Structure 1
Amino acid sequence: MSQVAEAHGLRPFVALLELNRPPHNHLNVDGLTELAEALERLDGDDRCRAIVLAASGKVFSAGADFSGAGDGAARDTARFYTQAMRLFATRKPIVAAVQGAAVGAGLGLAVAADFRVSCPEGRFSANFNRLGFHPGFGLSVTLPRLIGEQQAAQLFYTGRRVDGEEAVRIGLADVLAPLDQVRERALDLAADIAVSAPLAVESTRETLRLGLAERVRKANERELVIQQVQYATEDFKEGVAAMAERRQPDFQRR
């Protein structure tokens, strides 16, 4: 089954990409590759002027999945991020429809979009430090760029969840809608964008994001090096165990 479904015709000049890896839409190398290829294909499609990135089910994305990589988190992360960085080099504006949890790499994906439509049931979390390792997906650039350094630092250090209402208040999301209207509101916003002149929109977007893809790539290189060291620590094992057991972690700085 494809991990990314693609549709046209829901709104004029708007394409819909849907993450389709139930129940939690975990991201893996194959899924990110498929998503990057779809976005790059839409860059060359004049029928598309704006894109909605949505997800099936109740969760936007609960984060990265390296379960098929053997002893894998450390081994597969580089391939994962290689594909993730492709998302920042595409040209068409993206609206993310975040109807549930966007956690870890799922948050990184949501923040890679230009805009986010969410709902009171939305949940955003940069839970990396609570799991015992450094943030990834370029979030050390993209999150403070979006909500400011102070707010980003607090979310990184605590790993706490932010609901949709707070996300809009702090600038992490742009539109709050009822749960059953999140996708429609995202399509409406994309359709509003698509009415504007496409050459003008794309050039304006390029100016606003000038140098962003390179900044994210360089930051991600650093993130990756630190993560691969920290995956080998006892604190990382404790963080993962604590999450699985739904308890407070007991980190020992080793």
Structure 2
Amino acid sequence: MSTQRDIHVEANGHVTTIEIRRPPLNFFDVVLIKDIADALDAIDADANCRAVVLAAQGKAFCAGADFSNAPATANRTRGGNELYVEAVRIYRNRKPIVAAVQGAAIGGGLGLAISADFRVTCPEARFAANFTKLGFHPGFGLTTALPELIGKNNAELMFYTSRRVTGEDALRMGLANLCVPQDQVRDEAMKLASEIAECSPLGLLSTRATMRAGLADRIAAATDHELQEQNRLRDTEDFKEGVKATAERRVANFKGR
């Protein structure tokens, strides 16, 4: 068992849980994503662990980046692509991950949920790639990971509308694997991870490596392009208006400049 500033890691038999502890919304930044990547590296080195549950305290699974602090967010993502370097590290981990999505997974938080192999969710959860509503471009490798998971046209629908997808709809479109009552999400994620952990650890590592072959490299290429577009759009009037409108809970008045 170990606790860093914003995550808690605990082993239970052959399953290790990584819990995000930034309630209620669990906004992410470079520090949080690096902590998760570091924890996954340690789990890869632990022969006793065969599967991982990625969970979160609070109302949301991860509400993405905190754009109410847009200048700091900009600084964290511009120089050296630090955030996406850490995101790609998560994709390079070797052991199966089950995400327990008990609430909102928004923007980059959706990207974090999709980096897992499986997602257990509930009717109350909401999944959204809300970037275009912010006047922004998708990130966290979502332009590759989301269409590979739910199909190109479903991904386009989520990107172009920025709509919020319910837990039931996520199950129907293949974005989630299980949809259960909210108070059962963590337990069901643990059950799935435990079922995985009953299998041969060598067989699991070998099969997962085959199934995810080249995925991390595709995510790395995607994040390179995504960051270029995000940095370009970050300086536009539309991005400033999108962030302001979201904070004020109103429809944005975009000008296309």
What TM-score bracket applies, with the shorter chain setting the length?
A: over 0.9
Residue of 203, 223, 227 corresponding to 1:200: 203
Q: Which of 121, 134, 138 is 1:118 aligned to? A: 121
Q: 1:243 aligns with which of 234, 246, 249?
A: 246
Partner of 1:142: 145
Give the counterpart letter for 1:16 in structure 2: T
Report the equivalent of 1:24: 25
Runs of 5+ consecutive residues of structure 1 not aligned to the other structure: none
| Cα offsets for 1:198-251 (capped at 9, x unmatched) | 111111111111111000100100000010010000000010011011111111
Cα distance per residue 1:1-39 (max 9 Å; x no partner)? 611100112xx3000000001221011111111110000
Residue equivalent to 1:106? 109
Q: What TM-score does the superposition give when structure 1 sets the normalisation length? A: 0.96
Query: Structure 2 CA distance, aligned partners of 1:91 and 1:13?
Result: 15
Residues 1:170 and 2:178 aligned together: no
Name the structure 2 match of 1:214. 217
Identify the range of structure 1 (108-117 vs 82-91) with the bigger mean alpha-carbon deviation. 82-91
Q: Tell me, yes or no, if the aligned pair for 1:52 and 1:190 is still in contact at 8 Å.
A: yes
Q: Aligned partner of 1:22: which letter?
A: P
1:55 corresponds in structure 2 to 56
Q: CA 1:68–1:152 in structure 2 vs 1: closer, same or farther (change >3 Å)?
A: closer
Paired residue for 2:38?
Answer: 37
- Secondary structure of the corresponding residue to residue 52 of structure 1: strand
Counterpart-to-counterpart distance in 2, 1:138 and 1:163: 22
- Match for residue 183 of structure 2? 180
Alignment of 1:73 with 2:73, yes or no, is yes
**1:72 match: secondary structure:** helix
2:39 aligned counterpart, secondary structure = helix
User: Given the superposition, is the C-alpha separation of residues 68 and 37 from structure 1 closer, same or farther in structure 2, using an over 3 Å criterion?
Assistant: farther
Please list the CA deviations of residues 111-157 of structure 1 after superposition, one character each: whole Å capped at 9, or x if unmatched: 00000000000100000011001100000000000000000000001
1:86 aligned residue: 89
Q: Which runs of 4+ in 1 moved over 2 A?
A: 65-69, 71-75
Equivalent-residue separation in structure 2 for 1:239 and 1:88 (angstroms): 30
1:97 paired residue among 97, 100, 108: 100
**Could you tell me how far 1:64 is from its partner in structure 2?**
1.6
Structure 2: where are the runs of 5+ without partners? none
User: SS where residue 116 of structure 1 aligns?
Assistant: strand
Q: CA deviation at 1:72?
A: 3.2
Q: How far apart, in 2, do the equivalents of 1:66 and 1:13 lie?
A: 38
For the pair 1:189 / 2:189, whether they are aligned, the reply is: no
Q: CA deviation at 1:161?
A: 0.2
SS class of match (2:147): helix
**Aligned match of 1:160:** 163
How many residues of Structure 1 are paired with residues of Structure 2 in the alignment? 251
Residue of 200, 225, 228 corresponding to 1:225: 228
Secondary structure at the residue paired with 1:8?
Answer: strand
Aligned-residue identity in percent: 53
TM-score w.r.t. length of structure 2: 0.95
Residue 181 of structure 1 aligns with an amino acid whose one-letter code is: Q
Rounded Cα–Cα distance in structure 1 between residues aligned with 2:179 and 2:69: 36
* Aligned mates of 2:91, 2:83 — CA distance in 1: 14
Distance 1:237 1:95 in 2: 35
